[in-house]
Amino acid sequence: MGGYSLSSPSFTLKRTQWCGLLRSEHIGQTVTLAGWVQRRRDHGGLIFVDLRDREGLAQVVFNPELDSLVHSSAHSIRSEYVLAVKGLVRERPEGMVNPKLATGSIEILAEELEILNPSKTPPFMIEDRVDVSENIRLKYRYLDLRRPAIFNNMLVRHKTAQCVRSFLNDHGFIEVETPVLTRSTPEGARDYLVPSRVNQGYFYALPQSPQLFKQLLMVAGFERYYQIVKCFRDEDLRADRQPEFTQIDLEMSFITEEDIISVMEDMVTTIFKEIIGLDLVTPFPRITYAEAMARFGLDRPDTRFGLELVDVTDVVKDSGFKVFAEAAQKGGIIKAINAKGAASLSRKDLDDLTGFVAIYGAKGLAWIKVNPTGWQSPFAKFLSEEEKQGLTAKLGMEEGDLIFFGADSRPVVNAALGQLRLLMAGSSS
RNA sequence: GGGGGCGUAGCUCAGUUUGGUUAGAGCGCCGGCCUGUCACGUCGGAGGUCACGAGUUCGAGUCUCGCCGUCCCCGCCA
């Protein structure tokens, strides 16, 4: 690499405006833009270049009749070239307005062009609709970050952090940074370890959360503390789980459970209002852990749809169907979900679903189809008339319905039917 | 720790079930033409270690074994 010079920069055109913020109020002004080439449309005569900066796109027009030299050098422009362009902002001709662009009513008539940097052909298009593997995107992270959608993610994160700080500051919280290289404070997850050079053979543990320090601050009388902080947990990954992540960590003294819930509802409501303009209604609906497990089988229930789990243990605990009876005898439970109108599922579909619940430890998946001709089910013949009536009433069974049963220990039944519920609703992969 | 999917052009994928002539498509890329496009149009063209290695076979992108990479899930994780 060469050395750096403190002498004048090697470019002559200095940016005066953001591309994406040009509006009709700028018509008549001569501006200088700097940015990346989104796309070039070369008509042989006229050349259109969409120039992109972090605020958006603006269309630059190169006209051979205006300056044939500038026009001919515009000929060599390719995607992702970095340009500086000086030109007149003018209203677009009649019928040429592009309503899809915020800058679509104006364009810049190029008078000077400086190619600040050429670019190799990028491995994928810099646009929101890209369909590229995570691998490729990460390999060319600097290109992926140019995409408006990704930039916007970062922007939302920035605004949210600012919003949270502002809210908590206004509510008497004090932001404190806590140490990262520290002693292990086991919380269940494995620690990330950092070897110590000074104390050979010893290790620091990266914090799974700032728990210990938070308590220290409370004992010391800080009253209200917060921190937007990285946490580290050395566990295996999932699609939605990373080994390092950021928490809004906070603590309050001399308060009740209702106080903390209320402040958190206020904070979340403020974030949604300020960041995306959405009004949330408080108080938020509340549900106990026991109720969540009973009705949805999971501690993070998706309450946007029905398909709730129904405990039918008392109806079939003495059933002639051994799978039910034995589950009850061993202290387990029998639960069911009514997939309304799903009786049209094929035998293969049901076999696939049986394989699906097996992932969560279920040894089988009993089912009943309510057909026009009556019940269709591998085990209905073992049920008494009383049990059939009990199930019909408790599950609201009607023609066209498909009922799934789980009979096992409570955790297995909840996990299997809880996940099956999500699958049937199409809200999970 | 365990199970499953995927790997073919720069990118996204088809082709693998049933081995058989020169491995295809869309987008992108390169060149010609084009003065109102905005996912420009049009004509032409280039581009391949079928992840890698070994094996079976007259013949392997296709079958077998191994190996590497990657994604998803279970366990784990609050």
Q: DSSP assignment of A336-394, as one string?
A: EEEETT-TT--HHHHHHHHHHHHTTT-S--EEEEEETTEEE-SSGGGS-HHHHHHHHHH
Q: How far is the CA of A129 from the C1' of B31 (A)?
A: 29
For residue A367, how many C-alpha atoms fall within 13 Å in the half-sphere facing its CB? 28
pLDDT: is A3 or A64 the higher one?
A: A64
For strand B, give the nucleotides within 7 A of a protein CB.
1, 10-13, 27-30, 33-41, 70-78
Amino acid whose CA is nearest the C1' of B75: A236
Average pLDDT over residues A275-300: 94
A94 touches strand B (CB under 7 A): no
pLDDT confidence of residue A108: 97
A10 touches strand B (CB under 7 A): no
pLDDT confidence of residue A332: 94
Q: Is the pLDDT of residue A315 over 80?
A: yes
pLDDT above 90 coverage of chain A, percent: 88
- For chain A, the average pLDDT equals 93
Q: Which residues contact A77 (CB under 8 A, 6 or more apart)?
A: A37, A40, A47, A49, A83, A115
| pLDDT tens sequence across A341-365 | 999 888 888 988 998 999 999 999 9
Report the distance separating Cα A158 and Cα A339, nearest Å: 43
Residue A13 in contact with residue A85, Cβ under 8 Å? Answer: yes
Average pLDDT over residues A376-392: 95
Token pair in block for residue A347: 């035998």
- Looking across all nucleic acid strands, the nucleotide with the smallest C1' to CA distance from residue A129 is B39
pLDDT: is A56 or A187 the higher one?
A: A56
| pLDDT tens sequence across A217-257 | 999 999 999 999 999 999 998 988 989 999 999 999 999 99
Nearest-Å Rg of the Cα atoms of chain A is 31
Report the distance separating Cα A325 and Cα A263, nearest Å: 48
Report the distance separating Cα A76 and Cα A115, nearest Å: 10
Q: How far is the CA of A242 from the C1' of B77 (A)?
A: 10
Q: Would the CA dihedral through A274, A278, A281, A283 be positive or negative?
A: negative
pLDDT confidence of residue A322: 93
- Looking across all nucleic acid strands, the nucleotide with the smallest C1' to CA distance from residue A236 is B76
Q: How confident is the model at residue A428 (pLDDT cuts 50, 70, 90)?
A: very low
Residue A85 in contact with residue A33, Cβ under 8 Å? Answer: yes
pLDDT: is A111 or A188 the higher one?
A: A111
Q: Is the pLDDT of residue A5 over 70?
A: no
pLDDT confidence of residue A35: 97
pLDDT confidence of residue A429: 34
Strand B interface, A 49-68, C-beta < 7 A: 50, 59, 61, 63-65
A288 touches strand B (CB under 7 A): no
A11 touches strand B (CB under 7 A): no
The beta strand positions in A159-317, using DSSP E, are 174-175, 193-195, 203-205, 224-232, 244-252, 310-311
**Cα separation values, A12 from A33, A76, A112, A206, Å:** 12, 20, 10, 48
Report the distance separating Cα A53 and Cα A286, nearest Å: 44
Strand B interface, A 191-250, C-beta < 7 A: 208-209, 233, 235-241
Q: Within its chain, how far is the Cα of A102 from the centroid?
A: 26
Q: How confident is the model at residue A8 (pLDDT cuts 50, 70, 90)?
A: low
A300 touches strand B (CB under 7 A): no
Average pLDDT over residues A85-105: 95
Strand B interface, A 306-345, C-beta < 7 A: none
pLDDT confidence of residue A188: 85
Residue A341 in contact with residue A400, Cβ under 8 Å? Answer: yes
Report the distance separating Cα A299 and Cα A134, nearest Å: 30
* DSSP 8-state secondary structure symbol assigned to residue A232: E
Strand B interface, A 123-152, C-beta < 7 A: 123-125, 130-136
pLDDT confidence of residue A1: 40
